[in-house]
């Protein structure tokens, strides 16, 4: 064979370490985390080494080749239809039995297969050992032990991938069901062969899936005679076993997985209940669980605030100190304005106002993601979510929204149905992302005190629940229920956390900084051309008369649609100060903070919404939120007049 | 021994059960089965606060199952 380029897919259950392996092999930047559903789209990367080029594809987690949610369809379609040259089945060694259920289906699909026995460290900590040679014989596929987070075993993995790709050996399916099932598979295979049905899968795989009642394959076969044979065979199986055919097959497949797992695992010593089990008694308790959750949340925001405000002052003062030096450069007043007030103040705002809050926030978020705690919140809030017509899993994209709404909108794909997805996505756009956190902490907490910031968050959460409940009334359909594997707690790996934080920060610096600087220059130009006031006057009836904000604040809200943190940066740019208490009253600060939180999804989020749900529904969200923000802003303004100047 | 059949949602914590059947032919039945909750399988109830979801240990890992679904899974208690 002289082919030099190959497609290699990484497939396996959720949370087994596919994305870590992908990143290690390709140097890619896939999001990693200890919760199901963070990879919802396939990601592609390349590895060129020892004369071959691998096109590596990271897929969302999948439990079965029969499909359930949208992210799983991505994986199944890729594996079954795009015919990768090789599938690396990443397996959680410490959870072999369940993982093998999927492996067995890959074997049925007759794809060239390599098994990466990952998380081997966790297996060993449990006092267990796997005989990998025996496992390899039983599965008729090479098996490689790996500990992806420590970069162990990945060289071997590459070697085995290469060998397997270059060998021309063709595998024959060797794993057999009980004879009642097996004889019926054979009948169906014969039928499919005789009728020369064209399928993108092997006949045996199709026959098994037909007996399992897989709707997609049934549609593809679309031959009345075969489908009626399927029905007959299914009834026979039901007669013999007293269960539906699909139950029979799934049970038998699990029995095979158990048998294999049992025969390769040996116990070296016993381990007592883990700290995680003990911790779950608190984290999942119906009372203490919430207390703990609230404390964690407050703790995170308070830490970010303390850290952020300290460094914000430090950095702003330090950068402002360059002004006299800068002003000595002989320039015309016009360029003075553009370069210092436009460019430099943009830089100062980015470094001084935004970065100090965003960096620790990303860091703590990565910690939380890697710990396994997020799935516990999903468990805890399942009931609350049901009141909004969703279920606990919806909490994953909502939490992800705290970092950035854009991946969170895509993350709603872990919801099983379109209605649930759309509902979850609307709520996601109301979650204060890191940019809005900058505003709440850098403006409201810094100038009114942390307790007011806390109040804004509480108001926002109440708003989310109310909006959820109202939408649930209007969007018909009962919510589907929660079925989720609980990830184990993991000691967060520093290297991965730092990398995760760095990836997000880098993106922020590359994307946000130029926008901040350009916007700052533009607003400086507007000021020089005397264009600010006409715009402000145009917005005045709503912004000032109704919501009670200074007219120029309306201009910043326009820029905020580009990126939310721009509102604060523009405020500093227009008034040439970061002492916001000197330009707004406490009431205005509070209302401004709340309005920026909800008034519109930023442009990037709108684009994501449009991609996922189309123009119509995106426009609906934008208009709805704009109207909601104006009404609520006006309302709070009136109410607060009673307490605040 | 008394082996009454009851919904998973009604079983108390730290009890071992055997899956018997599912009430209703819902879409989630396939998913449950694929996650290891097949009839005949033994599972242990780890957590059941009678309001939130139920956590069961099956096939070596823990699953969280919403209350609605848990009340449609019929099981019988296994005494040791
Ligand atoms: N202890 C340990 N943790 C791992 C290993 N591989 C991955 N992880 C962790 O497992 C979690 C899930 O990893 P990820 O790559 O996002 O899983 P995916 O869902 O399969 O893409 C993360 O918290 C990783 O840090 C490993 O070999 N050992
Ligand atoms: Mg992943």
Query: Among A75-84, A441-450, A542-551, B25-34, where is mean pLDDT lowest?
Result: B25-34
Q: Is the pLDDT of residue B54 over 90?
A: yes
Q: What is the pLDDT of residue A418?
A: 86
Hey, of A486, A488, A490, which one would you mutate to test binding to chain B, going by the most B CBs within 10 A of its CB?
A486
- Chain A residues near residue B51 by CB distance under 8 angstroms: 286, 383
Total domain count, chain B:
1
Q: Within a 10 A sphere around the Cβ of A528, how many other Cβ atoms? A: 15
Q: What is the pLDDT of residue B2?
A: 54
Q: Which residues surround ligand 2, an ion (CB under 5 A)?
A: A 18-19, 39
pLDDT in tens, A553-602: 999 999 999 989 999 988 988 888 888 999 999 999 999 999 999 999 99
Q: What is the mean pLDDT of residues A239-243?
A: 91
Q: Do A375 and B64 touch (CB under 8 A)?
A: yes
pLDDT in tens, A521-543: 888 888 888 888 998 999 999 99
Q: What is the pLDDT of residue A232?
A: 96
pLDDT in tens, A457-494: 999 999 999 999 999 888 876 667 889 999 989 888 89
Query: Among A99-108, A160-169, B18-27, where is mean pLDDT lowest?
Result: B18-27
Site to probe by mutation for ligand 1, drawn from A9, A17, A488 as the one with most ligand atoms within 8 Å of Cβ, is A17
Q: What is the pLDDT of residue B26?
A: 60
Question: CATH number of the domain that B43 lies in?
Answer: 2.30.30.90
Q: Is the pLDDT of residue A41 over 60?
A: yes
End-to-end CA distance of chain B: 11
Q: Is the pLDDT of residue A51 over 60?
A: yes
* Segments of chain A assigned to CATH 1.10.287.1770: 179-267
Q: Is the pLDDT of residue B1 over 60?
A: no
Taking the centre of ligand 2 as the mean of its atom positions, its distance from the CA of residue B21, in whole angstroms, is 33
Q: Do A243 and B39 touch (CB under 8 A)?
A: yes
Long-range contacts of A172-176 (CB under 8 A, 24+ apart): A173/A107, A173/A108, A173/A110, A173/A202, A173/A204, A174/A107, A174/A140, A175/A104, A175/A107, A175/A108, A175/A256
- Rounded-to-integer distance, Cα A568 and Cα A570, Å: 5
pLDDT in tens, A173-226: 788 999 999 999 999 999 999 988 888 889 999 999 999 988 888 888 889 999
Query: What's the domain range around B44?
Result: 5-77
Q: Is the pLDDT of residue B80 over 80?
A: no
Q: Is A14 in the pocket of ligand 1 (CB under 6 A)?
A: yes
Long-range contacts of A119-126 (CB under 8 A, 24+ apart): A119/A16, A119/A17, A119/A92, A119/A93, A119/A94, A119/A147, A119/A148, A120/A93, A120/A145, A120/A146, A120/A147, A120/A152, A120/A153, A121/A147, A121/A150, A122/A92, A122/A93, A122/A94, A122/A488, A123/A93, A123/A94, A125/A271, A126/A94, A126/A271
Å between A258 CA and nearest CA of chain B: 8
Q: What is the pLDDT of residue A256?
A: 95
Q: What is the pLDDT of residue A253?
A: 95
Q: Is the pLDDT of residue A38 over 80?
A: no
pLDDT in tens, A319-334: 888 888 887 887 788 8
Q: How far is CA A639 from the centre of its chain?
A: 38
* Segments of chain A assigned to CATH 3.40.50.300: 5-166
Q: Is A244 in the pocket of ligand 1 (CB under 6 A)?
A: no
Q: Does the domain made of A5-166 have the CATH classification 3.40.50.720? A: no
Nearest Cα residue in chain B from A391: B66
Q: What is the mean pLDDT of residues A361-369?
A: 91
DSSP state of A158: H
The band of A643, judged by pLDDT with boundaries at 50, 70 and 90, is confident
Q: Is the pLDDT of residue A1 over 60?
A: no
Stronger pLDDT, A418 or B53, i.e. the higher one: B53
SS3 label, residue B16: strand
Residue A95 at interface with chain B, using a CB cutoff of 8 Å: yes
- Rounded-to-integer distance, Cα A166 and Cα A174, Å: 22
Query: Which residues are B19's β-sheet partners?
Result: B75
The fraction of chain A above a pLDDT of 90, given in percent, is 61
- Are residues A415 and A394 in contact, defined by beta-carbon separation less than 8 angstroms? yes
- Chain B residues near residue A486 by CB distance under 8 angstroms: 55, 61-64
Reported ipTM: the value is: 0.94
Q: What is the pLDDT of residue A479?
A: 65
Task: Select from A303, A582, A308 the least CA-distant residue to A446.
Answer: A308
- Rounded-to-integer distance, Cα A557 and Cα A599, Å: 9
Q: Is the pLDDT of residue A2 over 70?
A: no
Q: pTM for this one? A: 0.88
The band of A76, judged by pLDDT with boundaries at 50, 70 and 90, is confident
The band of A67, judged by pLDDT with boundaries at 50, 70 and 90, is low
Q: What is the mean pLDDT of residues A46-73?
A: 86
Query: Among A297-301, A329-333, A376-380, where is mean pLDDT lowest?
Result: A329-333
- A179-267 folds as Helix Hairpins (1.10.287)
């Amino acid at each position: 064979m002289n082919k030099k380029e190959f497609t290699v897919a990484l497939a396996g259950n959720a949370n087994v370490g596919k994305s870590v392996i992908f990143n290690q092999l390709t140097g890619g930047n896939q999001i990693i985390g200890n919760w199901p559903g963070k990879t919802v789209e396939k990601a592609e990367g390349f590895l060129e080494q020892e004369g071959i080029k691998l096109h590596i594809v990271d897929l969302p987690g999948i439990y079965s080749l029969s499909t359930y949610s949208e992210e799983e369809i991505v994986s199944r379609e890729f594996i079954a239809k795009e015919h990768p040259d090789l599938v690396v089945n990443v397996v959680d060694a410490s959870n072999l039995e369940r993982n093998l259920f999927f492996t067995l289906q890959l074997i049925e699909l007759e794809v060239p297969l390599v098994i990466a026995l990952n998380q081997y460290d966790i297996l060993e900590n449990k006092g267990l050992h796997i005989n990998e040679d025996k496992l390899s014989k039983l599965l008729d596929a090479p098996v490689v032990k790996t500990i992806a987070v420590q970069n162990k075993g990945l060289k071997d993995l590459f070697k085995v991938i290469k060998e397997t790709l270059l060998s021309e050996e063709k595998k024959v399916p060797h794993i057999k069901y009980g004879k009642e099932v097996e004889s019926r598979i054979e009948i169906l295979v014969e039928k499919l062969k005789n009728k020369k049905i064209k399928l993108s899968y092997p006949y045996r795989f199709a026959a098994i899936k037909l007996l399992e009642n897989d709707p997609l394959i049934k549609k593809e076969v679309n031959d009345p005679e075969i489908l009626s044979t399927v029905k007959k065979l299914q009834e026979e199986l039901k007669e013999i076993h007293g269960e539906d055919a699909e139950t029979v097959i799934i049970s038998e497949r699990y029995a095979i997985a158990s048998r294999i797992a049992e025969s390769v695992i040996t116990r070296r010593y016993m381990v007592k209940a883990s700290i995680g089990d003990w911790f779950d008694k608190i984290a999942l308790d119906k009372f203490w669980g919430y207390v703990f959750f609230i404390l964690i949340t407050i703790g995170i925001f308070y830490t970010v605030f303390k850290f952020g405000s300290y460094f914000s002052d430090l950095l702003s003062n330090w950068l402002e100190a360059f002004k006299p030096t800068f002003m000595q450069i002989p320039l015309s007043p016009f360029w003075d304005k553009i370069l210092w007030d436009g460019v430099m103040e943009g830089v100062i705002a980015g470094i001084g106002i935004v970065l100090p809050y965003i960096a620790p926030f990303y860091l703590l978020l990565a910690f939380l993601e890697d710990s396994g705690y997020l799935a516990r919140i999903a468990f805890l809030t399942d009931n609350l979510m049901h009141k909004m017509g969703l279920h606990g899993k919806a909490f994953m994209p909502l939490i992800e929204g705290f970092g950035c709404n854009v991946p969170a909108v895509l993350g709603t794909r872990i919801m099983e149905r379109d209605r649930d997805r759309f509902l979850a996505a609307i709520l996601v756009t109301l979650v204060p992302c890191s940019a809005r956190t900058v505003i709440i902490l850098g403006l409201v907490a810094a100038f009114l005190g942390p307790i007011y910031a806390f109040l804004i968050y509480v108001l926002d959460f109440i708003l989310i629940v109310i909006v959820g409940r109202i939408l649930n009334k209007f969007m018909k359909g009962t919510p589907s229920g929660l079925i989720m594997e609980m990830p184990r707690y993991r000691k967060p790996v520093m290297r991965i956390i730092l990398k995760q934080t760095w990836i997000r920060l880098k993106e922020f610096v590359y994307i946000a900084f130029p926008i901040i600087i350009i916007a700052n220059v533009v607003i400086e130009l507007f000021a020089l051309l005397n264009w600010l006031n006409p715009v402000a006057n145009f917005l005045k009836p709503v912004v000032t008369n109704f919501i009670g904000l200074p007219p120029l604040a309306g201009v910043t809200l326009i820029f905020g649609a580009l990126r939310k943190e721009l509102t604060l940066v523009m405020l500093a740019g227009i008034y040439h100060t970061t002492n916001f208490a000197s330009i707004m009253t406490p009431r205005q600060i509070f209302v401004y903070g709340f309005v920026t939180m909800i008034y519109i999804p930023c442009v990037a989020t709108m684009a994501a919404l449009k991609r996922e749900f189309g123009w119509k529904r995106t426009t609906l969200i934008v208009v709805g939120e704009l109207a909601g923000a104006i009404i609520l802003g006006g309302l709070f303004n009136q109410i607060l007049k009673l307490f605040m100047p | 021994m008394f082996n009454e059949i009851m919904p998973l949602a009604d079983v108390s914590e730290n009890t071992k059960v055997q899956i018997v059947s599912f009430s209703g032919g819902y879409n989630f039945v396939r998913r449950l089965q694929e996650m290891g909750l097949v009839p005949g399988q033994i599972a242990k109830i780890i957590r059941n606060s009678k309001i939130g979801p139920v956590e069961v240990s099956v096939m070596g890992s823990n699953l969280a199952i919403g209350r609605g679904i848990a009340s449609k899974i019929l099981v019988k208690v296994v005494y040791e």
